[in-house]
Amino acid sequence: MNILLVEDDKELTATLTRGLYEEGMHVNSVSLIDEAKSYIQMKTYDVIILDKVLPDGDGSSFCTELRNNGNSVPILMLSACDECDDIVDGLNKGADDYLTKPFRFIELVARVRALSKRLTNIKSHILKVRDLTLNIMSRELKKGDKIIELRNNEFNLLLLLMKRKNSVVSKTEIIDYIWNMENFIDPNLLNVTIYNLRKKIESSKDTKIIHTVRGIGYKIVE
């Protein structure tokens, strides 16, 4: 597994690099966003571990830049701030998971492994349901010929439901997949994400695509 670590704390970088290597992972470490951009252009990574505050910029903004450029590599954001708004901001701007400092190394390893499996477990990078076509690699959704812009949480939700089309996916599984159950903060976040996604992929003339299974979760029907 190839990891890009973007962290300016030298002691933490050394500790994580050594520990991840012992877990069988290859790590490239940089301390600046500009350096990270160069490495990403040269090499494909399975996971990016990204500090939120760096000497030459904001990690959240860098997440958004990567997503806007079509880069779908899973991102684990690190931050010393554990405020709810700060965490939600990072996730909404493109991070897949969030870990507050200080953290246990075994927890970081578990999250890195979980993130690396999200896309590699999918046999095809193109998923289709009705007139929806989801390209996992480019993170592009088309409804017919029209491109639909999705936020990161909306993309991950749709990805999970399309992977499991015609099957019910529980709310607990959705929350754990998108936000990580241990870090899930706002109970209304799932409802808001479902609502926003429905607005983008359904219209008043369509039969519903996302169905609510009361008391259990949601499913997409072919």
How does pLDDT run across 130-174, given as a tens digit for each residue?
889 998 877 889 998 899 999 888 998 998 899 888 888 898 888
Q: What is the pLDDT of residue 124?
A: 55
**92 and 134 belong to one structural domain:** no
Does the predicted model carry a pTM greater than 0.75? no
Looking at 89, 120, 151, which one is the last position of a domain?
120
**42 and 78 belong to one structural domain:** yes
Residue with the bigger pLDDT between 179 and 60: it is: 60
**74 and 131 belong to one structural domain:** no
Q: What is the mean pLDDT of the chain?
A: 86
How is residue 49 written in tokens?
């571990």
Per-residue pLDDT at 121 exceeds 60: no
**132 and 85 belong to one structural domain:** no
**16 and 104 belong to one structural domain:** yes
| pLDDT tens profile 22-60 | 998 999 999 999 999 999 888 878 899 999 999 998 988
| Contact yes or no for 62/36 (Cβ under 8 A) | yes
**89 and 149 belong to one structural domain:** no
Beta bridge partners of 58: 53
**114 and 14 belong to one structural domain:** yes
**92 and 162 belong to one structural domain:** no
Between CA 154 and CA 135 the distance in angstroms is 14
Per-residue pLDDT at 204 exceeds 50: yes
The arithmetic mean of pLDDT across residues 51-75, rounded, is 88
Instruction: State which residues form the domain around 135.
Output: 126-220
